[in-house]
Amino acid sequence: MGADLYNNLIRYFMTHLKTLRDASDPLQDEALLRYYATEWDRYTTGANYINRLFTYLNRHWVKRERDEGRRGVYPVYTLALVQWKQNFFMHVQSKHQKLAGAILRLIERQRNGETIDQGLVKKVVDSFVSLGIDETDTNKGSLEVYKEHLETPFLDATEKYYKTESEAFLAENSVSDYLKKAEERLREEEDRVERYLNTDTRKRLVAKCEHVLIREHSEMMWESFQGLLDFDKDEDLQRMYALLSRIQEGLEPLRKKFEEHVKKAGLAAVEKLAGAGGAAAAGDGGDVDPKAYVDALLEVHRKNSETVQRSFRGEAGFVASLDKACREFVNRNAATGNSSTKSPELLAKHADALLRKNNKMAEEEDLEGALNRVMILFKYIEDKDVFQTFYTTKLSKRLIHGVSASDEAESSMIGKLKEACGFEYTNKLQRMFTDMSLSKDLTDQFKERMQQNHDDMDISFSIMVLGTNFWPLNAPTHGFNIPAEILPVYDRFSKYYQTKHSGRKLTWLWNYSKNELRTNYLNQKYILMTSSYQMAVLLQYNGHDTLSVEELVAATAIEKAILLQVLSLLVKAKVLINEETDQYDLNPNFKSKKIRVNLNLPIKAEVKAESSDVMKTVDEDRKYVIQATIVRIMKARKTMKNQPLIQEVISQISQRFTPKIPDIKKAIDTLLEKEYIERVEGTRDTFAYVA
């Protein structure tokens, strides 16, 4: 009974579908789709009713037949779909994919800008999905029919369409226009999936479009990238980045070009500043102004950093390219020549200018911001130890001469350096501040003691006692006769200090000390601010009106070369007159607009010595840093081959400076001599740690 009913139902469906088949044969394109969609609606609605009528058949006979393994028997609604597929759908499709072809032609019309009935397309496409039936489980759907009859031809048609369109478009339009077009087309296709295709198609459709619209024209995009950078075409750069980031390895050529672009911009900025010929030829950046140099580098960094954030969405690869390029041009440019120490020196000088009193920069803008910008460049400096040594030297001068803008600014900068390089890097700097405050207390205590002892000092006096290990200061190499006028104070303090700290030795740094002298021989009284050497010279004129160089050398014990420089400053300031060779007279007609006259200007020997001293200190420090690093590594590893040891040393030290391989080898030899390490017997290049 069930089988008869079932077979009659099949015949009923077949008869109905034959009528539809005959009616659809003459129809084409949109007319065919309309007819198909209308009949599909009617048919599925009817099939639903019939399915309910035959609930009993479904529940018993069909279930039993399927349980017994007859796969050709379906629940009534599914049977209706199977019949539609076999007797109508396949018939229409078999004629040159008439149905799918009609859909594809409609989609192409939409791509060409025409308006189409999207609801109609969706209905037909949904029917393709509904006709996919899983033979094993009729409750499950399958996309087999949809994929075979619609998705595959649709993807092929899409590829063909965009291939033709993109080539034609590029032949007549600019790359900028193409980027807009490609972006638009990708958006449209994603939208298409939402509107009337199955969501399963999205991935394959997008991949196909990306291949045709982006991958196949990527060479052209890469080539035009430089032009967009040169003319700051932000929107186009954003588009190009967004498009090329969709394909594998699409951004790598851009990153390389961007790195080269930034490097060129940085080198050009310094070249312009150094006046191409002058400093570049000199190779030492001698005539480059530190502020102008730092500003030029920062401007290149700022501009390209904004490009990375705005156009490349701060993508890590572009950030790395920017950093790599900056590291290159900050350390090697027209101002530095072959010297790796010039950039850290100029940066330290700029930081020094920022942190000094009467600094116009601090008044004009936010000092904290200026220091943060120094740190941007500091990050790229390779020889951070050179910066550290110059910075320490400059800081010591600021503290000794009391010309620091503010303690807050100083400690803020030290904090930044500590954050970037660790405690060890700034340890000396912090100790210098400690010494300064201890010295202030010491001066007060000394004055108090003198008052208690009724040793009335007619000279006001303040002292700085600075730790040898922390301050980059050198004691004078020549003698110095302490003038009788200050000798009592000198003796009193020396005795006082010895009683307070019995084991310590004081080395007096006359070359850094300064004094104030009052004039009594002129109608107008002046206060002359002098160095100790100038004071020693001028005090000789309390007993003489004229003195020869030899007499002054004998009286002061200052080296002749330095004494001549001291005298030339005093002659230039018109305090002394030098009318006869090697003869210096006190000028009785000295006049100045200021009551306080500053004579304490640096002498050439000091300025030159500073740079060479710094480099000597750096070289010495590096030797010990390399040795200490080797010992630390060997202590942890016990034995190690030569090559891996050298590589490990480089990787550990490169944060501070780039060590040279001959220096590392020299350090290994030194440690072998000192017996910190030894060669392993029977090998040429393996070392062992000696406990």
Which DSSP helix (H) or strand (E) runs through 344?
helix 342-354
- 668: domain range? 606-689
Position 596 in a domain: yes
pLDDT band at 283 (very low <50, low <70, confident <90, very high): very low
What confidence score (pLDDT) does residue 324 get?
Answer: 95
Mean model confidence pLDDT for the chain = 88
CATH code for the domain of 114: 1.20.1310.10
- The SS3 assignment for 585 reads strand
Instruction: Give Cα separations from 24 to 38, 321, 679 (angstroms).
Output: 12, 63, 95
Instruction: Give Cα separations from 531 to 99, 536, 567, 601 (angstroms).
Output: 102, 9, 12, 8
Which structure tokens are listed for 450? 């003198």
Of 601, 634, 660, which marks where a domain is finished?
601
Does 404 have pLDDT greater than 80?
yes
State whether 623 and 676 are in the same domain. yes
State whether 209 and 292 are in the same domain. no
Using CA atoms, how far apart are residues 142 and 155, in angstroms rounded to an integer? 19
Using CA atoms, how far apart are residues 120 and 104, in angstroms rounded to an integer? 13
β-strands 596-598, 527-531 pairing:
parallel
What confidence score (pLDDT) does residue 282 get?
Answer: 40
Range in 58-67, 104-113, 560-569, 669-678 with the lowest mean pLDDT: 58-67
State whether 188 and 56 are in the same domain. yes
Of 570, 601, 632, which marks where a domain is finished?
601
pLDDT tens-digit series, residues 520-530: 988 899 999 99
CB atoms within 10 A of CB 117: 14
Rg of the chain, C-alpha, whole Å: 44
State whether 402 and 451 are in the same domain. no
What confidence score (pLDDT) does residue 365 get?
Answer: 61
- Dihedral angle, C-alpha 359, 361, 367, 373, nearest 10 °: -130
State whether 9 and 110 are in the same domain. yes
Position 235 in a domain: no
Of 554, 578, 601, which marks where a domain is finished?
601
Global pTM value: 0.80
Cite the DSSP H helix spans in 197-315. 202-209, 218-230, 234-244, 252-273, 278-282, 290-311
State whether 501 and 596 are in the same domain. no
CB-neighbour burial class of residue 68 (10 A; exposed 0-12, middle 13-18, buried 19+) = exposed
Count how many residues are written for the chain.
Answer: 691
Position 20 in a domain: yes
Position 237 in a domain: no
CB 586 within 8 A of CB 545: yes
Position 132 in a domain: yes
pLDDT tens-digit series, residues 622-640: 888 999 999 999 999 999 9
State whether 566 and 631 are in the same domain. no
- Percent of residues, the chain, with pLDDT higher than 90: 54
Using CA atoms, how far apart are residues 82 and 78, in angstroms rounded to an integer? 6
Using CA atoms, how far apart are residues 224 and 233, in angstroms rounded to an integer? 11
Using CA atoms, how far apart are residues 353 and 375, in angstroms rounded to an integer? 15
pLDDT band at 70 (very low <50, low <70, confident <90, very high): confident
Position 1 in a domain: yes
| Range 477-484 contact pairs with CB under 8 angstroms and sequence separation of 24 or more | 477/559, 478/557, 478/558, 478/559, 478/562, 479/557, 479/558, 480/508, 480/510, 480/532, 480/533, 480/536, 480/556, 480/557, 480/558, 481/536, 481/555, 481/556, 481/557, 483/535, 483/536, 483/539
State whether 27 and 60 are in the same domain. yes
Which structure tokens are listed for 511? 């070359």
CATH code for the domain of 442: 3.30.230.130
State whether 558 and 626 are in the same domain. no
Position 230 in a domain: no
CA 9 from centroid of its chain's CA atoms: 75
Please compute the mean of the pLDDT values over residues 22-39 and round it to a whole number: 90
State whether 321 and 444 are in the same domain. no
Instruction: Give Cα separations from 590 to 594, 602, 654 (angstroms).
Output: 12, 22, 57
State whether 390 and 304 are in the same domain. yes
pLDDT tens-digit series, residues 320-377: 999 999 999 999 998 888 888 899 999 999 999 999 887 766 555 688 889 999 999 9
- Tally the C-alpha atoms within 13 A of residue 649's C-alpha that lie toward its C-beta: 29
- Tally the C-alpha atoms within 13 A of residue 308's C-alpha that lie toward its C-beta: 21
Using CA atoms, how far apart are residues 691 and 676, in angstroms rounded to an integer? 8
- In total, how many domains does the chain have? 5
What confidence score (pLDDT) does residue 630 get?
Answer: 92
State whether 256 and 395 are in the same domain. yes
Position 241 in a domain: no
pLDDT tens-digit series, residues 540-553: 999 998 999 999 99
Range in 63-67, 183-187, 219-223, 670-674 with the lowest mean pLDDT: 63-67
What confidence score (pLDDT) does residue 285 get?
Answer: 47
β-strands 686-689, 527-531 pairing:
unpaired
Using CA atoms, how far apart are residues 333 and 273, in angstroms rounded to an integer? 11
CATH code for the domain of 617: 1.10.10.10
pLDDT tens-digit series, residues 92-144: 888 777 888 999 999 999 999 999 999 999 999 999 998 888 766 666 777 88
